[in-house]
Structure formats: C-alpha cells, structure tokens
A and B are shown apart, each in its own frame.
Chain A
Amino acid sequence: MAKVLIPTPLRQYVNKLDAVELHGSTVGEVLGALTSQFHDLRKQIFNDEGKLRSFVNVYLNDEDIRYLKKDATPVAGSDTLSIVPSIAGGATSVAEPPTTLSQEEILRYSRHLIMPEVGMEGQLKLKNAKVLLVGTGGLGAPLGLYLAAAGIGRIGLVDFDVVDFTNLQRQVIHGTKDVGRKKLDSAAETMNDINPYVHIDKHEVALSSENAMDILAPYDLVIDGTDNFPTRYLVNDACVLLKKANVYGSIFRFEGQASVFALPSGPCYRCLYPEPPPPGLVPSCAEGGVLGILPGVIGLIQATEAVKLILGTGEPLVGRLLLYDALAMRFRELKLRKNPDCPVCGEHPTITKLIDYQEFCGIPQQQPAQPTAETPGEISAVEVKAKIDRGDKFQLIDVREPHEWQIGHIPQAKLIPLGELPKRLNELDPSVEIVAHCKSGVRSAKACNLLRQNGFNRVSNMTGGILAWSDKVDPSVPKY
C-alpha cells in the first residue's frame, strides 16, 4: 500500500488523518482510490473536469509526477505521495503572461492549433515559454529557425562569434551576405523575419562560471548547442543547480547524440561522462570535420524535445541517450541512469556552485599572445619560411590526412598522417631537426610529443598550422 501525506488544511476531509494508506499501481489509481474514499477531498484537488487543480502538484517521494509519467507513474508499496500546492504572487501585476493570441497569430499557428496535443492551450504555453540557446552555430542554427517558427515567446541567444565562410556549410541561419557580421545579429534578424512575435535576447558573451547563473536564471529551459567540453560541463552544472532542463546535443563527422539532462527525475551530463576526455583527444568539428546536414538532424531532435517539455506532452528523452549514425542511417538508444554518486546531481553533491571549467577540462589558462617570445618546442610559420629561404637543413612534416593535403600544402613538407607516424618513424632522421605542422597545431603538438618519446630531441611544432601559414606566409594556400 502506498502512503499519501495529507496537508494540514485537507485533513478535515479525511477524518483528521495526516496520512492515508491506499492500494493502486499508478499515481492515478492511488489518487482515485483516495478521492472515492473521501468524497469531499475530491473537489479540493480536482477541478470540475476531473483534472488536478492548477495549483496542485503531486510528488512521488521527491519527484514531481509531471516529470515522471504523470498519472501513469507506477507506484510501489514503499512509495510516499505528497500533495503540494504551487504558490506565487507579487505586489503588482508586472508583465502578466498573455492569455490570448491575436487573429494573425491564430492564422500563423493554425497547424498547431488544430492538433489536440498543442491546441490553444499548448500554443500559449509556447508563447509564454522562455528558452535559452547556448551557441548559434551548427546546432543553434536549426534550433533558432524552428523554435522561432514554432512561436516560442522569448528566446535568448548566447554567442560572441562572427559569421565565417566555413560556417555556411551547416549554419543555415546565416547567409553569405552575413559573413563578418556578429552571429547574434544575423541569427536574430533571420528569426524575427520568420516570426516577428518572438522576443530575442542577445547575450554577446562567452558563457563563464561568473555569468552563467545570471544568464540562465530567467529561462525555463536551456538548449546546449556548444562545441567544447568546458562550456558543456558549465551548462550542465548550472542547469542542475538551477533545476532547469538541459537539452543536450553533440555532433562529430557523421555521428550525433542527444538527450535531456538535469531534470530532477533523470541523469545529468556528468552522470554519463563524469570526467572530460584529456584535452586534444576528441577533435572538435573544426579539427575533425562534420557533415553539414548532421547538425540539422541533431538540432531538430533538440528542438523537438524542447517543445515537448514546454507542452508537457509525450515521453521526454530523459534517461536515454539517442545515438545517430548518418552513414549507416541508424538510430540507437542507450539507457542512462542517474548516478547516485554524481558530484553535482547525486545524493551528496560535492559541486554546489560553479567551478573553473577550463581547469576541470585540463585546458591551461590562455596567455596573451606574445609573438616575439616563442615557447620552447614551438616555431612560427614565418620562422619556418625563413628557415626554408635560408636553406637550413631540417625535416618539415605535415601530419594531416591525405584529403587535407589535397586542399593545400607547403611544397617542402612531407606528408605523414598522425595515425601512421608510429610506424613511419624510420623515415625520419633523428640527427636532423624536425618541424611538424597540421591544420591549426593540435595534432602536430601530439606528433611532437610522440617523436620526443621516441628519442627525437630536436622537434618543434609550427604554431597555428597551415592556417597560420596561409595568413602569414602564403595566402594562395586555401584555408578550410
């Protein structure tokens, strides 16, 4: 038998009991049994249509049943149900949420309004919803377009980048005419063109431990469209601390994943990945590439989950990690459990405020660039060019992949992809200085470490890779 705790003022309807034990396998059955046994209680918690009154919340142990399976939430004999009112107020009625749609909005949203799962009530929920989109890049682009079109009332955008030609292959919210503009301006303009009823907040900052709580606080839910680990952990932790859903998505080459994290009933990103990978192990999209269409698929899965959460309909992607493989065209699903020892959402959290996420992810604080003083083991593209021009004896190796070499390369360089380097060490002369380069300097730094571990002492990494070469030495080498 499940136990239902009765709030003091309602005890008069249940023979002054403070708790009632009842049979039932779901929340709906238990509440049904309660109100059929105590008739007078019924109108206190249900309205005339037999639905829970607007101010009544039902908790199964510590969790709101709205985030479980509502009435259908299974109940075990050891469970306790609590009836808790939602209470709010304020001295003046500032910005009362809209309770109607204009005729033009009714036309605009008519395909939503005729679906019972959305209807007028649902469309007003969307209009009153406040959603924060972190990033207006690959994932943020389809998210911004469709959430605006769907009629989300207020959308916050966080980005500090400008539109670049390399973005256009996937970031469809920006156009060729927008190259060089702030992504925030370009995205907001497109979204308001699609739907002028959407209010857009532009947050032109890099999300940080100092500003995240303030930026996230006014929103109902947060959608993570970031591409780096420090920000992903930051968004996750802030969502857990603020008890807001974190609609997660990530993409790489042909594969993507999505889930809904940080709801009290489900796991968070840290339950899945307690520790970040070592820096440099997982290449970013800039390093590893991404199929341009992929973020469209993943971003729209995130948009779908956001809209479902707002409407309170369907089965949210909570406790499930959806994996998408575009090459195989397969979706798979992994079950995720809430980790009771999770440092942020577990039973005894050790992270109770935001931490230093750069440090957590092993990324050293960025030092201001000092072009004159080079770090030992590093060499600039300009210096490499000078060595070539002087006729210095050294080995220049390009550790990128053959398809990148085809886009453009330094004529004097020898191509040894990073993955092949361990078995091709015999092609290098340990007595002669080696300079390694890649696209931007990350893979070649690994190559340098590997060479040093194998007894090559005179090794340097060309900072900034072929991109720096194109910028500083030879602009005819295309950037990609």
Chain B
Amino acid sequence: MIKVDTKAWTTMVAHAESKFPNECCGAMIGRIDGDTKNVTEAVPLENAYSGAQGARYELRPEDLLEADRKARAAGLDLIGIFHSHPDCDAYFSKTDLENSCPWYSFVVLSVKGGRFDHAASFLPNADQTAAEKEELLWPKS
C-alpha cells in the first residue's frame, strides 16, 4: 500500500493541473514502514520528453539522481514516481509499462479539463511486461 500525505498530495495535484494539457512528472519521497509506503514529500520534475507532451513524459536520470540525493540527505527514501494523464483515465499504458522500472511505485493522476479527477498506483514487473495495481491512499478533500 502507498499512502500520500496532504502536503505531498497537494504538490502533486497542483503540478499535474499546472502542466495540463501536458503530462507532468515527479518523484515521491518518504519512508517505508513494513508494507506501507508513506509519501511525505513530492518533488515536481521537468518533463524532458522532446516532442509533444500531451501524452508523453520522460524523466531525466540526472533529475531523479538529484531527488534521490535530496531524499538521502533528509534521511528519507525515494519510493515512487508520479505522472499525469491529461483528459485520460489513470491506467498504466503500454508506453508507461515499456519505459518503467520495477523498483518504484508508479502513481498516475488523471486530470480532466484541467482539474484532478482520480488516481491509481502501479508496480511494474522486472521485464516490463505487466504491472500490478497497488492500493493508493490519498487525502480525499
């Protein structure tokens, strides 16, 4: 289970809405307690995809490295990646799967007409052929 606290969630939703109609992306930082991943901070990162970003995103490894360093410095862990699907449901697409990695939780935020709609989290396998849905808890307003 992955649980996102209010501060981190506000950051993620604001980032996703501000980038609409483009996809946004970022890193999720927090702590793993047993079976629960607690996200306490979200780090918006630049969508580095070098084409139309309405339905694509790319994370720069350097940015992820920096986010990981930031987490380590604060005694926390990098535990997930988030991105948005503008005017599209929060599912794990073929593109998402083929460009994922099995180490992190992947949270997808559906943004419709510029407003957050719903979200889901996924755990891709090592061969990037399938992703399992993971329970996601966020502060419902």
Q: A-side interface residues toward B, CB under 8 Å? A: 5, 7-10, 18, 43-44, 55-57, 59, 62, 64, 82, 84-96, 130, 217-220, 243, 264
- Interchain residue pairs with CB less than 8 A apart (14): A55-B101, A84-B65, A85-B101, A86-B59, A87-B100, A87-B104, A88-B49, A88-B56, A89-B100, A90-B57, A91-B93, A92-B93, A218-B51, A219-B50
Contacts known (A8-B32, A217-B50); A88 close to B99, Cβ less than 8 A: yes
Contacts known (A57-B61, A85-B61, A91-B86); A5 close to B50, Cβ less than 8 A: no
B56 touches A85 (CB 8 A): no
Residue in chain B with minimal CB distance to A59? B65
Residue in chain B with minimal CB distance to A57? B61
The answer, among B61, B95, B102, for a CB contact under 8 Å with A89, is B95
**Any chain A CB within 8 A of the CB of B58?**
yes
B70 CB to closest chain A CB (Å) equals 13
A38 CB to closest chain B CB (Å) equals 15
A67 CB to closest chain B CB (Å) equals 11
Rounded to whole angstroms, the CA-CA distance of A220 and B95 in the bound complex is 20
Residue from A10, A43, A44, A264 with most neighbouring chain B CB atoms (10 Å): A44
Beyond known contacts A8-B78, A64-B62, A85-B64: 20 more, CB 8 A cutoff = A8-B77, A8-B103, A9-B103, A9-B104, A62-B62, A84-B62, A84-B65, A84-B68, A85-B101, A86-B99, A87-B59, A87-B99, A88-B57, A89-B99, A90-B55, A90-B93, A91-B85, A91-B95, A217-B50, A218-B51
Rounded to whole angstroms, the CA-CA distance of A264 and B63 in the bound complex is 13
The answer, among A8, A44, A59, A87, for a CB contact under 8 Å with B126, is A44
**Any chain A CB within 8 A of the CB of B41?**
no
Q: What is the count of residue pairs linking A and B with beta-carbon distances less than 8 angstroms?
A: 111
B107 CB to closest chain A CB (Å) equals 12
Chain B residues with CB below 8 A from A84, complex form: 61-62, 64-65, 68
Chain B residues with CB below 8 A from A55, complex form: 99-101, 128
B72 touches A88 (CB 8 A): no
Chain A residues with CB below 8 A from B78, complex form: 7-8
The answer, among A18, A85, A92, A219, for a CB contact under 8 Å with B55, is A92
B100 touches A82 (CB 8 A): no
A91 touches B128 (CB 8 A): no
Chain B residues with CB below 8 A from A43, complex form: 126
Chain A residues with CB below 8 A from B94, complex form: 93
Rounded to whole angstroms, the CA-CA distance of A7 and B79 in the bound complex is 9
Chain A residues with CB below 8 A from B97, complex form: 89
